[in-house]
Copies of this chain bind each other. A is one copy, B any other.
């Protein structure tokens, strides 16, 4: 396994203490299942439900969880938000409308950093999500230490419950150090320059034999343009061999083999 991949796995598996997601009066089992799947996608496993409308367990939740049964089976149900929050020391609440509560407001990435810091110093932490239609009301919000505002389109701000959850879970995992280098190639290093030059020389000699370079005074710019196209591709040794084989075939068509 590539090292980058391994460290990601370790980062996600080694979360140990992680935030618990608390759904307040969720309505649709489908959404609860989708939240469970989203959580496990990013290495989170602890789910609590406050007074779910359609009871618990819920077959529709099982169906949309798509196999995230560790989350579904471990979900704990509470009658009130206060009971669900009793053992946490730090709570953030998601809302599309931070309102005027004088609570600290975090963007999702900053919330993730804060949650990591709190958990690292031994404070069990939770993230609250409101019901599908209404979100969290003010009585719920004032039980939180701060709010998470997902900066969405003001003209169409209301996110689906599971989509708000996946953004928070994604930012949590991202802050855990699960990083991909930008533009990283999946594998393999470029060919030695000698091989690359061999390819370019081969291409030019083949084109020369086909009287491609005309008029002659355009040759330098034509050669340069061809070279730059291939240069930019960062060809591997195997790719250089493949392209040389292709040029060879075009130079001298093979007889059909059966």
Given contacts A146-B183, A182-B183, 10 further A-B contacts (CB under 8 A): A12-B154, A100-B187, A102-B185, A102-B236, A105-B185, A107-B180, A107-B182, A167-B167, A212-B249, A212-B250
Asked if A17 CB lies within 8 Å of chain B CBs, one says no
Q: Which residues of B contact A143 (CB under 8 A)?
A: none
In the complex, the answer to whether A187 meets B102 with C-beta atoms within 8 Å is: yes
Distance, CA A214 to CA B38, complexed state (A): 45
In the complex, the answer to whether B212 meets A245 with C-beta atoms within 8 Å is: yes
Total interface residues on A, CB under 8 Å, equals 97
Asked if A49 CB lies within 8 Å of chain B CBs, one says no
Distance, CA A250 to CA B257, complexed state (A): 21
What is the copy number of this chain in the assembly? 2
Asked if A125 CB lies within 8 Å of chain B CBs, one says no
In the complex, the answer to whether A180 meets B105 with C-beta atoms within 8 Å is: yes
In the complex, the answer to whether A243 meets B257 with C-beta atoms within 8 Å is: no
Asked if A110 CB lies within 8 Å of chain B CBs, one says yes
Chain A residues in the interface with B (C-beta under 8 A): 5, 8-9, 12-13, 34, 37-38, 40-43, 66-68, 98-110, 113-114, 146-147, 149-160, 162-163, 166-167, 170, 173-174, 178-180, 182-188, 203, 206-207, 209-212, 214-215, 222, 225-226, 228-230, 232-236, 238-239, 242-243, 245-247, 249-257
Q: Which residues of B contact A245 (CB under 8 A)?
A: 212
In the complex, the answer to whether A238 meets B225 with C-beta atoms within 8 Å is: yes
Residue of B nearest to A208 (CB): B249
Residue of B nearest to A12 (CB): B153
In the complex, the answer to whether A211 meets B255 with C-beta atoms within 8 Å is: yes
Q: Which residues of B contact A228 (CB under 8 A)?
A: 239
Distance, CA A141 to CA B188, complexed state (A): 18
In the complex, the answer to whether B41 meets A159 with C-beta atoms within 8 Å is: yes
Partner of A211, one of B34, B247, B257: B257
A229: min CB distance to chain B, Å: 5
